[in-house]
Amino acid sequence: MEGSMSSSKLEKTLARVKQRIGDHQFYEAHQALKTVAARYIKAQQYDQAIELLYHGAQELLTAGEGGSGGDLSCYLIDTYKLAKIPVDSASKARVVQLFNLFKEDEPRRKEFVQDAVQWSALYGEVGYGDPELFHIFGSAFASEDLPYDAEKFLLLGTKDSPIVLAELLYEWFSEDPEVVTVSFYISRAVLGYLTVGNVRGAGLSLDHYLSKFVASGRTTQPKVLSVAGDDITEFSQFPLLNFLQLLIRTCQRKNADLFKRLRFRYKNDIKDAFDGEIDEALGKIGERFFDIQFRTQANLLQDLMGSLFSGPPRGDQNRPQIQGNDLD
């Protein structure tokens, strides 16, 4: 009986709020929702608070009130944390639905994404956050031409994320008139995935990128060589593309000696292209796959949310680069 009464009261509150929003009384609707939600939370009636905040945020965001709707969306995530709501299909669906209602330029969207990631890390199955949310956020940022934000999420996404990231990076490269930079763009994905231990992701992203590059006609037809039972597409003009392919195979085999020889073999090419900018990433890869001590293991999410590369290749200061803490 109490549950039905509570549900009825909630429905009446939502109906009144919808009426106020329909009358363009956005401030009044926003304040009413926060007040009633606070009462539910104080009484530890978290389910009711969540429903109220979710539907209220939906209404305000749909009405174009991004500030008020964003505030309630963040309040919803705060309630998730307070109530220790687990990451499941229902709780995640609310997050995705609200995210999709935000306008791209709404400032509160970034805060909402950060809050959602933190919640999913606390109460999901994966310590750095929910991969499906990462994929959804990253894919959205990719479609909005926000490569820095997109890649950070896609590197921690699902099995479908590597292709999305490769498409983004190839589109980025296709706008570069200098074909010699081809390895720079895809190295972001390969080194990023290997840094977090995802060999499969590194391979998928590189294969997809190379197939588009070969089909583009911006390079002579490469040779396919068999190296230790693996097919390697040899690019005579772009040695770092060969390096990235061999690096992935070396990580698969976890052969420390081969890793050291590979770095020595391509050290001049790496220096000429990156001037030391990927040394840290290679150090992390050596530590993860080959037990070559690099430094104390840092927080994974913090690392990926920071910078994988501190700058563009030497001699190209205009090339886009990852800036540290882009989502802070």
Give the CATH fold of the 1-125 domain. 1.25.40
Q: Which residue has the higher pLDDT, 304 or 105?
A: 105
Structure tokens at 47: 């389910």
What residues are paired with 247 via a beta bridge? none
Do 155-328 and 1-125 fall under one CATH topology? yes
Mapping DSSP onto H, E and C, the string for 177-204 reads: CCHHHHHHHHHHHHHHHHHCCCHHHHHH
Alpha-carbon dihedral 13, 107, 321, 286, rounded to 10 degrees:
-40
| Residue 39 reports pLDDT greater than 80 | yes
pLDDT > 90 in the chain, percent? 77
Name the band, by pLDDT with cuts 50, 70 and 90, for residue 303: low
Where do the domains of the chain lie?
1-125, 155-328
pLDDT tens digit string along 152-209?
999 999 999 999 999 999 999 999 999 999 999 999 999 999 999 999 999 999 999 9
Query: Given CA atoms 251, 238, 145, 211 in this order, what sign does their dihedral have?
Result: negative
Residue 233 phi, psi (nearest 5): -85, 110
What is this structure's pTM? 0.86
Give the CATH fold of the 155-328 domain. 1.25.40
Name the band, by pLDDT with cuts 50, 70 and 90, for residue 4: very low
Q: What is the mean pLDDT of residues 26-44?
A: 96
| Residue 221 reports pLDDT greater than 90 | no
Q: Which of 100, 21, 9, 96 is nearest to 56 (CA)?
A: 21
- Residue 153 makes CB contacts below 8 A (sequence gap 6+) with 134, 135, 137, 138, 141
Residue 47 has a CB neighbour count (10 Å cut-off) of 16
Q: What is the spatial distance between Cα 138 and Cα 118, in angstroms, rounded to a whole number?
A: 16
